[in-house]
Chain A
Amino acid sequence: MKQGGTREAAAGAESAVTLDEHIVEIVSDSGEGAQKCGQSFASIAARMGNGIWTVEIIPAEIQPPARSIEGASGNRIRLGSQAVTNGGDAADLVVVFNEHVLLGRLRDGELKPGCIILLESKWRTDRDPEVSGLYATIYNELIAGGYRVYEIPMETECLRHVADARRGKNMFVLGLLCRTYSLDRELALEQVATTFAKKGESVIAPNQRLLEAGWEWAEENLDIRFKVPAEPAEEPRLVVNGNTALGLGVMASGMEVCAMYPIPPATSASHFLSEVFGSVGGVVHQAEDEIAACAFAIGASYAGKCAVTITSGPGYSLKQEGIGLAVMAEIPLVVVNVQRGGPATGQPTKAEQGDLLSACFGSHGDAPKVVMAATDIEDCFYSVITARKIAEAFNTVVVLLSDASLGTAQQPFPRPRFQEEWLAPPVDQSPIPKGVTPYDWDPDTGLARRFIPGQPNGMHTLTGLAHDRKSHIAYDPEINEEGIRRRSLKLAALQKTLKTPSVFGDEKGEILVVGWGSTKGAIEEAVQRVRADGHSVSSLHLRFLQPMASGIKEVMQNFDHVMTVENNWCDDLEDQLIDEENRRYSSLAWMLRARCLVDIDCWGEARGRPIKPGCIEEVIRQRLH
């Protein structure tokens, strides 16, 4: 060991430095198990009561070249004494399996200056002089750059316990990290048993041995030890990522059909459902394309089984015509869009909130639909249940927006207890009463009874053409407008049931930051930080984007300056050609300006990653001066 401490300094739990929070990254080449290591580490910490937020670090390719900057794969875990609501700013400690994957993280500004780096040292003695030379160069640069680098012979140590170190290194590192962060050793061993439960004792035992080896190595050799104290959890908590939470929500909502086409970053929700949906009588249909997936879901829903189609940006674009049909014909449908970077193929695995306007206004003609956005992992679960209910109560399309930053992030939340009211009612096959028509629109709310094939006396032909109350094709101007009016009224009827979202912070002040969807945790953390310095800054977070609850304008009028913070593009007034007349605003800012006639500013970035609370904090501070 060239840098760092001595064996003496490493002894004893008493020497652990107490921290409020720490951000840890584990980064490897693809396939070396860093993800599993990070998830296990997070689960152990969660059981001990720590707040956690984990973020997957995913390379764009399946098998990127080994030891490459682009190949970084792994996990970030933000560990806190209290609840953690986002991935935080830069990392405090990073474990890396080779120095190249580290470079990518450095380039992206993901590591704190001077942070601790636990580095696999086997490359120093690599037979290929180019490899060993590069390693030495980079190592020296890191030291010169002020990083605290600990060289760890991970592979050598692992080979003392298993034949293939590449597959065991992650558990060695897990042991090392558990010891470093003073986690409970028994819980860690238990976690390994849980992680490999399916594979049996012959796999569990060697992995537990590796965990112990990592623990002991750290005990003997590392002079760093931290403790992020937490009140032990009293209630069971669920640790899942946003996509699994979505899948669980689909299952718990009583839906029976999920029609999809593979597309990142949404697909893992369908992977999960494919495993488990059958146990509640559900089917995941992998359609031939996105259009078919949407049409299939529409067919299933028309036949009485409310269905969901799960996709991401490009797939959402392809579904737009089908969504318009479901709006026109008033067929309940839940569409989940786990947003990614766009337009076109964009950034398939990266985070962006770029689809709000196409979700609200997409599809040709006037196609009013409900648009919601999940604000955190827990909300991914409950929003699906809400979406299904609204879709069926209003016979309309509900678009649920998530994004890559929620899809792959984990955050513990109280374990839901099943409620029977979550489920859809059984398919109604009772006869339609005489005189009731398929579009028997209520004049005030636009609502009409849902007809389901199989119901006697309900026979009619549903059509995507303009139609009257009997579902007869009608090109009559009055009838056309009546249909448009009734479909539009349904949004107003829903809007009357929505509560004004509550303000985070004081209800009056200098700056109000408005956000939607996945940025809630980061925005509120940033607001909290500037409030701690005595500034009167508050935030408002929207879950319903269309319709929007009443009272939002009144909230905004109590602040000197209102701005949205969104993970999407807005023109920068500093750019030479940009002025107030041609500036393109962030999506929510467009909508709020139109809705509320308030001069709303915006700040956004489209860097393909979750917005960091530190960035938002900086933006707020600039606006304060």
Chain B
Amino acid sequence: MAMSVSAPRCLQWSDREDYQLEDYEAEVPRWCTGCGDLAILAAVQRLCRDEQLPLEKLVFVSGIGCSSRFPHYMKTYGFHGLHGRALPVAEGIKLKRPDLHVFVNTGDGDCCSIGAAHWLHAIRYNMDMTVLLHDNEIYGLTKKQASPTSPRGLKSNTTPRGTHLEALNPLSTTLGVANVSFVAQAVDWVPTVLYEIISQAFHHKGLSFIRVVQRCPEFLPTHFDPWMHDPDRLLMLTHEDGIQASPELSRTYKQQEVHDPGEMNRAREIASLKDQIPVGILYRNDEAPCYEDVVGSGPPITGPEKIQASVEAELDKFTVWPPSEGREGRG
């Protein structure tokens, strides 16, 4: 079914355009050298090219922060709006425009702090979009303040003696929300898996939430070194419904677990691992309803005639007819 719909569309695209990587590349990113955002940008541009997505049908929505500059570096439509509000903007875009591919780029401050209320509800709405949480566990644009995902004890400009509280866990939080349909985690330093996860997220119908653990070379340059230098501290989640680790990858990342993304309980356990960073698809539910499909149920209304008929019918309900027109006048 899915193939029969998408195949002619692919043909249409290939008739018209043959998109190359550079077709998606706008200006040279102004992120710092070594910033994890660059890896995400490269993976997303590759995905667009591989899927031959028409530039005008793509909308990248972001909030405010380093990562939220993302849309400016795509030669597509972009919406660089308010701090914390990317998700509700993206929902409004998607509601009546199923033809648009909507991506959201949000940082750990944008999503998990100022926009936290929207995050929880966006997961529950489960609208068809791909959400990339660029999580470097620090505020970058405002110059090194603690974020909700900063580990306890991290020193920053607002916590010179170290943060006071345990970090918020974006995976556990997301997995706790009703109607969650896709949760995955990637790390910026394993680009092939990052690409594979983004690709699967893109193909998932519903809100796919990907936390990308990424480095901030400016403010926390060595923060993830223990994990980068010790491949055994990454836990590769593999499954036929998830990521399949290639032989090359398996040579480096030996810690692997066959995890069925349908297993919520195990997903929650994996999400709360302390020493290892799990990489892969933690949870997927293809049956979760999408808000845009259930609120706008019924056939689309087109044409002024139909609107006219409905408006007139509503007006009739409140119309007081002159007594001379009597009951029959009420239609």
Contact = CB atoms under 8 A, between A and B. Distances in A.
Interface stretch (A92-100, A292-300, A528-536, A554-562): A292-300
A280 interface: yes
Interface stretch (B161-169, B210-218, B261-269, B299-307): B299-307
Contacts of A492: none
Contacts of B71: 461
Interface string B80-91: 111001011111
Contact of B85 (A49, A240, A292): A292
Given A238-B315, A257-B95, A292-B118, A232 B85 contact: no
A274 to B, nearest CB: 10
What are the 7 tightest A-B residue pairs by CB atom distance, in nearest-first order?
A: A299-B92, A461-B78, A281-B301, A295-B88, A300-B92, A299-B89, A292-B88
Contacts of B297: 278
A244 interface: yes
A453 B101 CA distance: 10
Given A302-B89, A454-B97, 8 more contacts: A237-B319, A285-B95, A292-B117, A295-B81, A298-B92, A305-B95, A307-B92, A459-B75
A341 interface: no
A46 B310 CA distance: 24
Contacts of B80: 461-465
Interface residues of A, number: 75
B92 A279 contact: no
Given A322-B82, A473-B72, A296 B92 contact: yes
Given A292-B117, A423-B304, A459 B56 contact: yes
A619 B324 CA distance: 44
A287 B318 contact: no
Interface in A218-242: 232-240
26 contacts: A47-B320, A49-B322, A232-B322, A235-B322, A238-B320, A240-B318, A278-B296, A281-B302, A283-B295, A287-B121, A296-B95, A299-B79, A305-B97, A307-B92, A415-B319, A454-B57, A454-B100, A456-B55, A458-B77, A461-B26, A461-B80, A462-B79, A462-B81, A464-B81, A465-B80, A472-B72
B298 interface: yes
B240 interface: no
Given A291-B85, A302-B79, A257 B92 contact: yes
A322 B86 CA distance: 11
A459 B89 contact: no
A407 interface: no
Interface residues of B, number: 64
B176 to A, nearest CB: 16
A256 interface: yes
Contact of A461 (B77, B311, B322): B77
Interface of A: 43, 46-49, 184, 187, 190, 232-240, 244, 248, 251-252, 254, 256-257, 259, 276, 278-281, 283, 285, 287-289, 291-293, 295-305, 307, 321-322, 325, 329, 412, 415-416, 418, 420, 423, 453-465, 472-473
B310 A236 contact: no
A322 B85 contact: yes
Contacts of A307: 92
Contacts of B60: 461
A453 B325 contact: no
Interface in B41-87: 54-57, 59-61, 71-72, 74-82, 85, 87
Contact of B100 (A244, A248, A453, A465): A453
B323 A279 contact: no
A461 B325 contact: no
B304 A244 contact: no
A322 B88 CA distance: 11
A172 B297 CA distance: 42
Given A190-B327, A232-B322, A453-B100, A460 B311 contact: no
B321 interface: yes
A184 B99 CA distance: 57
B310 A251 contact: yes
A459 B307 contact: no
B95 A300 contact: yes
A215 to B, nearest CB: 18
B308 interface: yes
Contact of A299 (B91, B314, B324): B91
B81 A455 contact: no
B72 A276 contact: no
Contacts of A415: 315, 319
